[in-house]
Amino acid sequence: MLTASAVLSNYAAAFTGDTPSYPASPVRLGIASYTFRKFDQAHLIDFMKQLKTPYLNLKDTHLPMTPVDQIAPRAAEYRAAGLTLTAAGTIYFPKDEDEDIRAKFEYCKLAGISLIVGAPTHETLARVEKFAKLYNIRVGIHNHGPEDKEWPSPLDVLAAVKNMDPRMGCCIDVGHTMRTGTDVVAAIRKAGPRLFDIHMKDLADSKTKESQVAVGQGVMPVREIFKELIAMHYPGFVDLEYEIFPDDPLPGVLQSFAYMRGVLDGMGYKA
């Protein structure tokens, strides 16, 4: 939060015409590219520029795993456009086989991405941990709500990885978390250093998946989430995953970003 002297300085600036000085937000807003799954790479890059954020969690829709010789060049195209590739995923690990799991870690290595937003099964978890250590790539396990037999809540993830290598953690999807009846802010606090990424969304009804709305129109405690992330010095990203209106998501995405930036501005930060 702003210091008292900074608040007074900004208050005075309003009368002098000077631009108030706010510290950069410690909460970094990005996009899960699944949001734009109906659009190609060129459109995705254009959307990111309109949103004025460089932080991109890439789905393989926008960076295919094959052909292998195109992974690095395609990743380089995103970086040349000024984007930062913060994570890859969600990547699924249904097969308890070295070959399948190694290929997905190799994909991230070639792309220069050091975080997998992943969905292993309980059976494949130990093998995924082995490759996380081998490749020095973190795995944030994404919870998918009450319908998910593996990881409904981030609390299920935390229970499974608590004694594992520190490169094993969670990507908390706040909408799916809320639908399980889990307190989102408390889950974030409990995750602590095991929290590698956040997928942000909002719900009009805390129990209904189909009630997703633009962030700020629902019941998600966005300010409290940001407050907790700032208090715990969370080093990762908050990636909007806007799953509705796939043929025309940009209006809702822009509205969501405006709201989140407004919350951070109200907390004294420039996002």
Instruction: Give the Cα-Cα-Cα angle 264, 45, 36 (nearest 5 degrees).
Output: 80
CATH of domain 22-266: 3.20.20.150
Residues 23-38 have pLDDT tens digits of 999 999 999 999 999 9
Compute mean pLDDT per 10 residues along the chain, 271 residues long, and list them. 42 44 91 98 98 98 98 98 98 97 98 98 98 98 96 98 98 98 98 98 97 98 98 97 98 98 96 83
Contacts of 251 (CB under 8 A, 6+ apart): 245
- pLDDT, residue 20, reads 59
53, 182, 58: which is closest to 110 by C-alpha? Answer: 58
Residues 207-235 have pLDDT tens digits of 999 999 999 999 999 999 999 999 999 99
- pLDDT, residue 16, reads 44
- pLDDT, residue 22, reads 80
Q: Which two tokens stand for residue 179?
A: 């639908």
Q: Where are the domains of the chain?
A: 22-266
- pLDDT, residue 203, reads 98
- pLDDT, residue 131, reads 98
